[in-house]
Structure formats: structure tokens, C-alpha cells
Amino acid sequence: MKAWRAPASRRDVLRLSLFGGACAVLRPSEAAEFEGHGLSSFGDLKYPPGFERFDYVNPDAPKRGIFSQQVATTIYNQNFNTFDTLHIYALRGAGAAGMSACFASLMSASLDEPDAVYGQAALSVTISADRLHYRFRLRPDLAFHDGSPLTAEDCAWSFNTLKAKGHPLIAEPLQSFVVAEAEALDLLRVDLAPTRGRDLPLVVAALPIFSKAWWSTRDFERSTLEPPLGSGPYKVKRFDVGTFIEFERVASWWGHRLPTGVGLNNFELLRFDYFRDRDVAFEAFKAGTFLFREEFTSRYWATGYDFPAMRDGRVKKEVLPDQTPSGAQGWFFNTRKPKFKDPRVRQALGYAFDFEWTNRNIMFSSFDRTVSFFQNSDMMATGMPSPEERAVLEPFGDRLSPLVLGEALLPPVSDGSGEDRGLLREALRLLREANWHIVDGRLVDAAGQPFAIEFLDDDDSLERHTAPLIRNLARIGIAATFRVIDAAQFQARTDAFDFDIVVRRYSLGATPGEGVRSSWSSSAAATRGSYNTAGIADPVVDALIERVIAAQSRAELTTVCRSLDRVLRAGFYWIPQWYKASHWLAYWDVFEHPAAKPRYARGAPEIWWSKA
């Protein structure tokens, strides 16, 4: 089966960690201009000024070899099954994997802190007393891959263009970003609106830096197979559209010797291979066509790794703990459609999924049930609301569902038979309350129109897991089908919200910020291509999102996220699926890595290296 996590999902991994970091937050009594070498949500940086490297890297890691893998992570316009453009920062086209490695940013993240970033292109940042103006001092001798200088003009043009013309998943979080201006060749000023969220400065600091001169003769909103001029640790070497893409290490890159670059980017070549069929991909891995695989299919993990290279030690298996928030994974309803408007209908459909049977019979009992939008984190609501949560929720009064202030909602637990009759009877009761009735074996509305559902996907890897759900839906009179379409059509339809139900996973990082607005706000629900797949448009959710973004301490953030979790779960926007708090890794025995991985990342390929 598929299990998704960031940063290595086989499906639509909604990797919002870019929007999960943040800026230093000072209390009013501390209000003064501030200069620093790094930023974090609540001012708790692990690494001091002048640090030499991150603790989790091997500073002596050799620079050699190749790291090849199947495409397992997507962001913005990328697709798991194909690509037709090398421009991933606009809406058009299906973007190639790995392109983000071609671009530098002002700051880059520490993988052993929940939300800290340190200077990359930026040497330091000065923050105004009102926290609305950020001045980034650039390092000397920055350059693009063609040797042309990288200046504050390029940064300003990049950020302003991304707000105006970038992919909606970039432009949406930049709503309160006002403008970026170059005050000197090495000094960039970023102006933010008073309404800006806590982490907007980090959103800007993590944006890719483009060459203003290179793009001056090209249309930023169009797709292209011409490699854009970059400034990062890798550049495009060669590719075959829809088949593979390779990146070569830029040996002269200015960032390799920085504290944020030591011990990272150790491979001379990165390669991403595309496969439309998962069985074909697994056979290709067994044959050594690509060298690294994070396994998401429990059947393969339990029974597939018995082949000669595995038996004689040329291929290794390794399980690493995953301490990052797993987030929300499930079948999400498109509530823009009238048949899914009533939450009782959505709740009823959830009773048809027998997780216990599916986990035991299809997934080798390898997974746990996802119950929360903040799964595997302390931001997950449990039990009755705490006094602090009640203080957040009770002012909304009768705008809250009565379920919100009770025990945190959990999916039903079945008898494991695959067709729990008690749960199906409860589903029918809820449907009758919502004015749906069984007539001649079919569930119909007051006008006699039958209830039909299409589960839409771009590959068939979840068909075995969806089939038992479809059978149970048939038992309550619902005609459901599983439909697979090609990747380009799937992306176009999901961008336009032209579907009934699709699978998605939301993982908002250890410090949720602007990404929450992009995922669940009313404005995102109306934005083509947004992450708000379900079309959640609830004023209470909107208000809680703003409180998440504005939280001034980690304790406050945790309380508000738990409150938001209760409201989202009471909306029944999804049928929750499953998760596991570990990484299943398989790789040919040509790699080495530090003894301990960083807490908030898998570490491959960032800090791995090739054996001699």
C-alpha cells in the first residue's frame, strides 16, 4: 500500500515545511531593531553566531558518486509519473523532480530544530522594531551558475515576481508580503504588512532566487524545457522528458563552505527516475536501475525483499524513526459538490471504511489509524478540551458544532469482519437524517436522484484498499467506482477541483504557519490549484487559522492547533486512512550516512555520501 509522509511520499506529499518555519518573535518590552545570523519562530536558535557546521553532518564526507531514486516527493506543479517542464514555480505544466536543488535562497533550514533557519545567500538579517521591515545583507561574491553576479536586485525581482505570477501555493502565503527592494547591490529590504503572519519572513527567506537578467527575455508563467539559470548546489545535466532527470554538482558553488553547506550535497550526480507502474519500479530497483528506495508498500516490505542482491548483502534494509508530525492522510470529499455539503453525509461515508480489516488483510498490520489533522505530534487533540482550549473555542458559541467541545472525535473501530453491520446501520441512520433513503436498493435523494461517487487517482496502487470501501458503500445503496486517469489529466482536474473524492496528505511541520491558511482557509478553497482539496470554507476555521499564524509562544501554538484540530475533525471532511512513525529504507550497499539522523528529516540524500 501507499503511506505518505514528508519529505518522501509516493503521492501528493503536501510539503509545507517551507511555510512552517518563521521569524524571531520579540515581546513588546523587547521591541528594538535586531540583527541576527538566524531566525526561528520563537527565538530559540540552537546554533550560535559563528558556528562551523550542523551537528548531524559528517564534515569529512567525500564528494563523489551518484544518488538515484524513484520520484517520491512532489511540490507545486510536480507530478509523480511524468514531467514536461523544468519550471516548477508556475502553475502550468508538470514540473520535473529535483529542480529546487538548482536554486539558492536567503536562508536554509536546520534539520535538527523544529523551525530554525540560518544564512545562506544572506550573511545576516536586521529586523525593524515594528517587525515589518527586514534587511538582508548578502554575502560577497555570490554568483549564478554562468558566473554572473547574484545581487539584491535578483532577490527583489524573484520575490516580487513569485507573489504576482508564481504558483498559487507560493503566491497565497505571500498575501501580506508587500514588496522587496534592493537598497544596494548587497542589501535587500523586505516590507511586510501589519497583518503578516508570524512566519512570513521565513516564507520569503526560503524562496528561490532567480536571475532577473535571464528571465527578462522569457515569460515566467509559461512552461519550458530550457533549464532556468540557477544559483544552487546542483544544475541540470541531462533529461528525457517523462523518463528521468539528472543533476550535476556545481563544484565551484559558493555555498559548499558555508556553515549551512558543510557536509551536505555530497553526491556528484542526483538522478530521479519516473515509473508509471509501481511493480515495474520495484523490479527496476531490484535490478539496480536506481539505488535508493523509501518503501511505502507494506506488501513489498513484508514479502518482496527476498531476491539475490538482498540475500547476499548487496541491498540493505533499514528502519529509521520518524519523529516529524505525520499529519492528515485520507480520502477527502470535495465539499463544493452538493452531495457532500451535509456533514452527516460525510460522517456516514466514513462508517463504510473498515480500517481494521484492511490493515490486517492488505497491509500486514503495519500501520496505525490516522485520527487527527496533526497526527504524530503534540498538536493533536485528545480527550476533552483543556481549559486553555475551551477558552479558545467557547467564544465562537453556536457557530461550533456540538461535537467540538466533547471528546476529541475518533474514527469508528470495526469488528474487523470487513462489513461491520452495526457501523453500516449507523451510516444509514445518518443518511436518513440528511434526507437520503433506500429505494429499490439504491440510495436516492428527495428528488429520486441516486448517490454515486467516483474515487479519482492517477495510478492504481490504492485500488486494493479502496475496493473494500466501495463494496461497503454498495451495501448502503451507493454506487461507487475507482477511476484511474493519466497524470496530466489528473493534475488538471484536481487543480480545477473537478472530482468527487481524492487521496491527499497534509503535513504542516513542527511549527505550523502560513501553510495552514493555504490548506484549509476559505480563500484557498476558491483558489485554483490550492491545497484546500476538500473546499473547507468555515469562518471558525478561518479565525483559528489566523490565531495559529499569530501565536506568540509554542504553548499558545499547541493550544490553538489542538482547538483547530477539534473543529476540522468535527467537519468530517475526510475518511481518515493510516500512518506509521518510521521510515522503511532499502538501498544498494553503496552509501554511508551518519550514525544518527537529524530529528526532523530522513537525511537522504542531503547528508549521505557514496562509499569509495
Q: Quick one: 152 and 169 in the same domain?
A: yes
The yes-or-no verdict on residue 115 having pLDDT over 80 is yes
Q: Which pLDDT band holds residue 19 (cuts at 50, 70, 90)? A: very low
290-315 in b/e burial notation, b at 16+ Cβ within 10 A? bbbbbbbbbebbeebbeeebeeeeeb
Q: Quick one: 196 and 344 in the same domain?
A: no
Peptide bond between residue 539 and the one before it cis (omega within 30 degrees of 0): no
Let me know: does 19 contact 203? Beta carbons within 8 Å.
Answer: yes
Q: Quick one: 243 and 112 in the same domain?
A: yes
pLDDT tens per residue, range 539-591: 999 999 999 999 999 999 999 999 999 999 999 999 999 999 999 999 999 99
In a domain, 312, yes or no: no
The pLDDT score that the predictor gives to residue 41 is 83
The pLDDT score that the predictor gives to residue 610 is 98
In a domain, 414, yes or no: yes
* Neighbouring residues of 312: CB distance < 8 A, sequence distance ≥ 6: none
Let me know: does 559 contact 386? Beta carbons within 8 Å.
Answer: yes
The pLDDT score that the predictor gives to residue 1 is 41
d(CA 155, CA 182): 8
The yes-or-no verdict on residue 485 having pLDDT over 80 is yes
In a domain, 586, yes or no: yes
Mean pLDDT of 67-73: 93
The pLDDT score that the predictor gives to residue 173 is 87
In a domain, 54, yes or no: yes
Q: Which strands form 187-192's sheet, in the order they lie side by side?
A: 34-36, 122-127, 133-138, 187-192, 177-184
Q: Quick one: 492 and 602 in the same domain?
A: no
Q: Which pLDDT band holds residue 31 (cuts at 50, 70, 90)? A: low
H/E/C letters for each residue in 32-91?
A: CCEEECEECCCCCCCCCCCCCCCCCCCCCCCCCCEEEEECCCCCCCECCCCCCECCCCCC
Strands (E), 176-217: 177-184, 187-192
Q: Quick one: 540 and 592 in the same domain?
A: no
Q: Which DSSP letter does residue 375 get?
A: T
Q: Quick one: 269 and 352 in the same domain?
A: no
The yes-or-no verdict on residue 515 having pLDDT over 80 is yes
CB atoms within 10 A of CB 83: 29
d(CA 597, CA 246): 25
Q: Where do we find the cell 456533514?
A: 343
Mean pLDDT of 276-282: 92
Number of domains within the chain: 2
With a pLDDT cut of 90, the percent of the chain lying above it is: 84
Q: For the chain, what is the total number of helices (H) and then of strands (E)? A: 17, 27
Residue 563 belongs to a domain with what CATH number?
3.10.105.10
The yes-or-no verdict on residue 344 having pLDDT over 60 is yes
Let me know: does 540 contact 567? Beta carbons within 8 Å.
Answer: yes
H/E/C letters for each residue in 570-594?
A: HCCCEEECEECCEEEEEEECCEECC
Q: Which DSSP letter does residue 195 get?
A: T
Q: Which DSSP letter does residue 373 get?
A: T
The pLDDT score that the predictor gives to residue 197 is 81
Residue 95 belongs to a domain with what CATH number?
3.40.190.10
Domain range for 477: 328-579
Q: Quick one: 560 and 592 in the same domain?
A: no
**Among the listed ranges 14-28, 172-186, 479-493, which one has the minimum average pLDDT value?**
14-28
The yes-or-no verdict on residue 26 having pLDDT over 50 is no
Q: Quick one: 527 and 552 in the same domain?
A: yes
In a domain, 261, yes or no: yes
- Predicted TM-score (pTM) of the model is 0.87
Q: Where do we find the cell 481494521?
A: 356
Q: Quick one: 195 and 338 in the same domain?
A: no
pLDDT tens per residue, range 76-105: 999 989 999 999 999 999 999 999 999 999
pLDDT tens per residue, range 412-453: 999 999 999 999 999 999 999 999 999 999 999 999 999 999
d(CA 315, CA 295): 13
Q: Quick one: 596 and 525 in the same domain?
A: no
Residue 265 φ/ψ region, left for φ over 0, alpha for ψ in the -120 to 50 degree band, beta for the rest: left
In a domain, 321, yes or no: no
In a domain, 280, yes or no: no
381-408 in b/e burial notation, b at 16+ Cβ within 10 A? beeebeeebeebbeebeeebbebbbeeb
Let me know: does 331 contact 502? Beta carbons within 8 Å.
Answer: yes
**Distance of CA 254 to CAs 39, 48, 143, 571, Å?**
22, 22, 8, 49
Q: Quick one: 558 and 597 in the same domain?
A: no
In a domain, 294, yes or no: no
Average per-residue pLDDT in the chain? 92
d(CA 106, CA 232): 11
The pLDDT score that the predictor gives to residue 170 is 93
d(CA 224, CA 524): 27
d(CA 392, CA 541): 12
The yes-or-no verdict on residue 608 having pLDDT over 80 is yes
Q: Quick one: 201 and 115 in the same domain?
A: yes
Peptide bond between residue 7 and the one before it cis (omega within 30 degrees of 0): yes
